[in-house]
Amino acid sequence: MDKPHLVVALAYDGLCTFEFGCTVELFALDRPELGVPWYDFAVCAVEKGPIRAAGGITVQARYAPGLLKQADTIVIPGWRGADAEPPPALLKALRAAHARGARLCSICSGVFVLAAAGVLDGQRATTHWRYAERLAQRYPSIGVEADALYIDNGQVITSAGSAAGLDMLLHLVRRDYGAKVGNLVAQRLVLPAHRDGGQAQFLPRPMPADEAGRVSRLMDWLRRHAAQPHTIASMAERAAMSPRTLQRQFRATAGMGPGEWLIRERVALAKELLESPLPLAQVAERAGFGSGEALRHHFRRLLATTPGAYRKAFLVIGAGDG
């Protein structure tokens, strides 16, 4: 980044404490161990008067809404109610920020603020599953996906409830700094390095403890052995399940089948390897794709870019292009 990237979090009366805290944790803490210029962070009060937050605390924000004119990223950490109308001045400021190219992000019910501002018209979005139907009914021009953890439209990013906000915020760090830095931040937070935005928000029904444990252990093993060849039959054998049971339980856990999940994990690994000078063929081999063409295919399918373009974006000097 040529200059510090300014992230501004909104504070409002009725502030959602957890979502706000997640935003502070990701962007406000100094992280000198990463060796990259970290974000500038500020909190902007969207209205005058006391800002009462969940849990009986009061927040005092230093900045007024005028700061939004300078923000590179604006985070709306929830909203005080799905039916609570956002202040017109805030909506105007968000539309202006969007028009000049700022990145707008919402956690949970914060999506209703973006929807009211009109910046989600014609786009996909998600929110907490409890609010999804209400969002779709009120804003029919938005393609609401009730089961996604987060949806990245490029300039506007929305996430589901509470903890899914952390997944989205880590996704932003990976977008800005690459997979290696994103993984280091996740380690500091004691979180999984990556949960794909398309994963299910919740399990439709409880899984038996032994089956849930076997799927989880299989996932951990596959991450450690991504370069090896795997089939549904071999994965089912390792999990001590039938292939049919594995498919069903894996989908209940991850929101997708084991084959697609493994491809996405391999793409995540390839992203990190591409930030090193390894030749593309070695990246493909170590990530489990076997060939550069297979790697390029899945990069284009899942990320709408190529391995070479990804490597170039993070200025890693190394071998062959994608």
Q: Are residues 146 and 62 in the same domain?
A: yes
Which residue segment(s) compose the domain that 130 sits in? 6-189
For every residue of 279-318, DSSP letters joined together read -HHHHHHHTT--SHHHHHHHHHHHHSS-HHHHHHHTT---
Q: Are residues 222 and 171 in the same domain?
A: no
Q: Give the CATH number for residue 314.
A: 1.10.10.60
Instruction: Please check whether residue 23 is in contact with residue 108, taking contact to mean a CB–CB distance below 8 angstroms.
Output: no
Give the span between the Cα atoms of 29 and 47, in whole angstroms.
25
Burial readout 203-213 (b: 16 or more C-beta within 10 A, e: otherwise): eeeebeeebee
Q: Cα–Cα distance between 307 and 131 in angstroms, integer?
A: 37
Tokens of residue 38, six digits: 């970290």
Q: Which residues pair with 51 in a beta bridge?
A: 59
For residues 143-170, average pLDDT: 90
Cα diameter, the chain = 62
How do residues 67-98 score in pLDDT, each as one tens digit?
999 999 999 999 998 999 999 999 999 999 99
d(CA 117, CA 155): 14
CB contact at 8 A, 202 and 182:
no
pTM of the model: 0.72
The CATH number for 35's domain is 3.40.50.880
107 with 58, same domain? yes
pLDDT in tens, 17-62: 999 999 999 999 989 988 899 999 999 999 988 899 988 899 989 9
Mark which of 128, 154, 189 sits at the end of a domain. 189
| 170 and 69 fall within a common domain | yes
What DSSP string runs through 27-79? HTS--GGG-S---EEEEEESSSS-EEETTTEEE--SB-GGGGGT-SEEEEE--
Is 75 contained in some domain? yes
298 in the same domain as 157: no
Which of 56-70, 93-107, 138-152 is the most confident on average? Answer: 93-107
Residue 195 within a domain: no
| One-letter identity of residue 37 | P
Do residue 38 and residue 151 come from a single domain? Answer: yes
Residue among 141, 21, 148, 30 at smallest CA distance from 75: 21
Which 3 state secondary structure label does DSSP give 93? helix
Report residue 195's pLDDT band, with 50, 70 and 90 as the boundaries: low
Q: At a CB cut-off of 8 Å and minimum separation 6, what does 206 contact?
A: none
Cα(41)–Cα(58) distance, integer angstroms: 19
The token duo for 148 is 């996604």
- Residues in the chain, overall count: 322
